[in-house]
Amino acid sequence: MRKNQSLAPIAHMSSTLKIDWATHEAAKYAVENWHYSESMPAGKLVKVGAWEDDKFIGVVMFGRGANNNIGKPYGLDQVAACELVRIALRKHLSPVSKITAIAMRFLKKNSPGLRLIISYSDPLQGHHGGIYQAGNWTYCGTSQAQQAVMHQGKIMHKRSAEALFGTIKGMKKSPILWKHKYLMPLDKEMKKQILPLAKPYPKRASSETRDTPSDQLGKAGARPSDALPL
C-alpha cells in the first residue's frame, strides 16, 4: 500500500474532519486508551488517523486479521482484501460511520487493487454491528466458530495469541468465539459478487444500552500528547 496526498478536510457538524496517515505511536496510544481491547493487533497494519479541528481523535486500522487467507472465499488474493481491525476514537462530533467511510475511501485511493474490506462485530462485547449497518455494509451471517484463550483476563483469538506471544501453552481456553461478519465491496463487480450472500441485519440485543462497534471506544477521558498527531 503506497502513500499519497491526504483527502481534503471535510466540514461536518461545525468541525473540520481530516483523514490522513497516522504514526505508529499515535495509533498505539489510541488503541491502548480508546479501544476496549487495549492492545494492537498482530501483523502488518495500515493506520489511518482522524482529526477534528486539528485535534487528534483516533485511528481506523486495517490489516489481515487472524486469517492468512482472508480473501480466498471471495476469489481474492491478499492484496485485494483486508480486514478493518480497529476503530479507536476519543470523544468526537463526526459520526463513527462517517469517519470510517472516509477512512475506507482514503485507503482505497492509496491501495491499487484493493476490492473488499471485511469486519466483525463481537456479541461477547454486546455489539451487533450498528455502525456497519449505518454505513450500508453487507451482512453475511456469523463467522466460523473459533477456539479462543484467556490472557490476563482478556479473551483472545488463539492465532492472535500465538502471533503475539509465540505460544498459548499455559493459557486457559475461553468459550468458543463467533462474530457477526460484514463486507464492504469497493467496486461494482465485487458488490455484484457478494450480493447473494446478503442476510438481514441482526438486531441489537434488548439488554444493550448503547451501540458501539466491536472496534470502538475504550477509556473516554484520556488525551494523546501534542507530539503524537502528524
Looking at the domain assignment, is residue 148 inside a domain? yes
| 25-29, 87-91, 117-121, 128-132: least confidently modelled range | 128-132
Counting the structural domains of the chain, the total is 1
Contact between 169 and 94 (Cβ < 8 Å) = no
- CA separation for the pair 48, 87 (Å, rounded): 10
Looking at the domain assignment, is residue 55 inside a domain? no
**Geometric angle at alpha carbon 132, from 46 and 185, rounded to 5°:** 65
| 79-88, 129-138, 179-188, 221-230: least confidently modelled range | 221-230
Looking at the domain assignment, is residue 124 inside a domain? no
Looking at the domain assignment, is residue 61 inside a domain? no
pLDDT in tens, 20-37: 999 999 999 999 999 988
Looking at the domain assignment, is residue 118 inside a domain? no
* Strand, coil or helix: 133: helix
| 47-56, 99-108, 117-126: least confidently modelled range | 117-126
| Domain hosting residue 157, numbered range | 144-177
Task: Provide the strand spans (E) within 68-108.
Answer: 81-89
| 7-11 contacts, C-beta under 8 A, 24 or more apart | 7/102, 7/105, 7/106, 7/109, 10/102
Looking at the domain assignment, is residue 87 inside a domain? no
Looking at the domain assignment, is residue 163 inside a domain? yes
- pTM higher than 0.85 for the full model? no
Per-residue pLDDT at 198 exceeds 80: yes
pLDDT in tens, 126-151: 657 788 999 999 999 886 666 666 66
Only one residue has cell 473516554, namely 220
What share of the chain has pLDDT > 70, as a percent? 69
Q: What cell was used for 142?
A: 456469523
- CA separation for the pair 42, 58 (Å, rounded): 19
Looking at the domain assignment, is residue 151 inside a domain? yes
What pLDDT, on the 0 to 100 scale, is given for residue 179?
A: 81
